[in-house]
Each structure stands twice: as C-alpha cells, then as structure tokens.
Amino acid sequence: MAEVVVPQNRNRTMGGVKRDHQGKEKAADNRTAKDVPRNAYTPMFESFRDELDEHHDRRMKIGKVSRDVTALSKKIIFSLQRVRKLNQPLPARIQADVEERLREIAGHLATIEGDVAGMNRYRYPLICLEEFVEAVSFSHYLQHQKLITPSETQEALPAQITLTPSDYVFGIFDLTGEMMRFATAATALSGSMPGLSTESSDNRTILTDMQEISSLLQICPTVGGKPGIYSKKSSIMIEQVRKVERLGYGIIVRGNERPKGWMPDMNESGGGDGDPEDTPMD
C-alpha cells in the first residue's frame, strides 16, 4: 500500500494552494507585475474612468435615499387617511407622527444635497419627491381644503433641494387618488360628501375640488418625465374623479335606501380592475 504523505502546515499570507495539472504544489511566484503600457492618452482615459466610477456611486446613493424617502412619505399618507374631517387641524397623534416622518426625511435628504446640486438635479431622477409632494399636499388639503402652491411645497421640503415642475405636477396627479380614498371612507361614515358646510357661501365639497384640479391639469402643458407618463396619469386622474362622482350620485339618488356604514364598491359601473394609480409607468 502506498504511503500517504500528509503535507505540513505552512504560514501563508493568502488562502489556498496553487497546484499544477499533476496536483503538485507550485512554487511561489515572486515576480513583480509588468507595468501597464502608457501613452499620451492614458491620463485622459483614467480621468474618464474616475468620473464614471463617481457617477455610478452617486447614482446608487441617490437611489437608496429616494427609496427611503418614498417609504416615509407613504407612511405619512397612511397616517393622514385616518382623518375624517376637512378644514380642521390634524389630531395630535397624527400630527406628531407626520412631524416625526418629516424629520426622518430631512435626515435622508441632507445626505444627498451636494450630490443633486446644480445640473445634477436634472441628471439624477428623484422620484421620491413626487411622493413627498403628494404627502404634503394631502396634509395641506385636509387642514385648509386648498391646493398647496409650488412655493409652499418648496418651503415644506426639509432640504436644500430644488423641486422641479414635474415633481409638483406629478405629485398633484397622485393627490387625486388620496382624495378619492378619503372621500370614500368619510362619506361612508358620515353619509355626506366631505367639505359640505352650511356656514360657507360656496359650499365646496371634495368632489368639486377634484373636478377643478382635474380641469386645471388637463389644460396644463405637458411637463417632464418619460413620454406617455403625463397622459397616463391624466387618464387615471379622470377615472378617479368619475368614481367620486358616482359616489355622490349614489348618495343623492339612493342615499335613503342604503344602511348606515355602507361602503361603496369603487369598481362598479365600469370602475375597472382595482385602482390603477400605482400602475408602473415604465
């Protein structure tokens, strides 16, 4: 029987043992690597390499922050959907929750202020700002029953980052979806369309507000974003307004026939399969 040779342990700086095709251990190669050929164009291409590396690192960093801010903005919207009355200050617990989320958003955005300054603001997409505009505009509407202005939205942004026209307009498009959900829940609990007040001379309801927003956005010139996004968001907004209109018709025509706490089916009468607001725009 052949003798079994047990190799002795040796101190090595790197893991693993290199062997040849016969399984024998290779001798350590102490030769230095050859210098990379250089010419007059080498420094230029090295600068290109460094610039591309910096660009990809910055894009990954901004993308991560954007996802975090989007998630926090959605949490603000979830909290605001617990409100049931318009033109009133937010309940203390909801207001505290919103302020806490805004502080977290400020912390995330502060880490990328320098990365999106100047022309870089248009080089790297910040989709999270559309969600942020949706959240702050919904909060403003619940408290004042008014549409927040672009300047007020910029002031509400807790960072030195410029809001683009597309950030604002697309955020307002998404606002109509939250107004639809609020109108559905509040109407089921109160039996009347939110916003209707005998003390006010105009008697505006959330439905009339949605109709005005829809009319303004339909005549607004197309702004930013990928081709087709504006028209797709516009069609979604129009369908959301129609759902609230059907809700209002049902209250007036058949309101007395429905039991207290009745929840309308938003998909009836051609409402489609589910809510298309969150349909991917790619």
Does residue 196 contact residue 203 with C-beta atoms inside 8 Å?
yes
Question: pTM for this one?
Answer: 0.76
Q: Which tokens sit at 177?
A: 């979806």
Does residue 152 contact residue 186 with C-beta atoms inside 8 Å?
no
Q: At residue 121, what is the residue type?
A: R
Length of the chain: 282
Q: Which of 241, 184, 246, 181 is nearest to 216 (CA)?
A: 241
Q: What is the spatial distance between Cα 121 and Cα 99, in angstroms, rounded to a whole number?
A: 26
The CA distances from residue 156 to 115, 230, 262, in Å, are: 20, 24, 37
Contacts 24+ apart (CB under 8 A), 256-261: 260/191, 261/188, 261/189
Q: How far apart, in Å, do the first and last CA atoms of the chain sit?
A: 69
Helix, strand or coil, per DSSP, at residue 25: strand
Q: What is the spatial distance between Cα 230 and Cα 221, in angstroms, rounded to a whole number?
A: 10
- pLDDT tens for the chain, residues 1 to 282: 555 544 555 544 445 677 777 777 777 655 554 566 788 888 899 899 999 999 999 999 999 999 999 999 999 999 999 998 888 999 999 999 999 999 999 999 999 999 999 889 988 989 999 999 999 999 999 999 999 999 999 999 988 999 999 999 999 999 999 999 999 998 888 878 888 664 555 678 999 999 999 999 999 888 876 778 888 999 999 999 999 999 888 877 776 666 666 665 655 544 444 444 554 444
Q: What is the spatial distance between Cα 267 and Cα 262, in angstroms, rounded to a whole number?
A: 15
Q: Which tokens sit at 244?
A: 């609230």
pLDDT at 75: 96
Contacts 24+ apart (CB under 8 A), 220-226: 220/169, 223/165, 223/166, 223/169, 224/164, 224/165, 224/166, 224/169, 224/170, 225/166, 225/170, 225/281, 226/281, 226/282
CA 173, distance to chain mean position in Å, is 13
For residue 135, the tally of other CB atoms under 10 A from its CB is 30
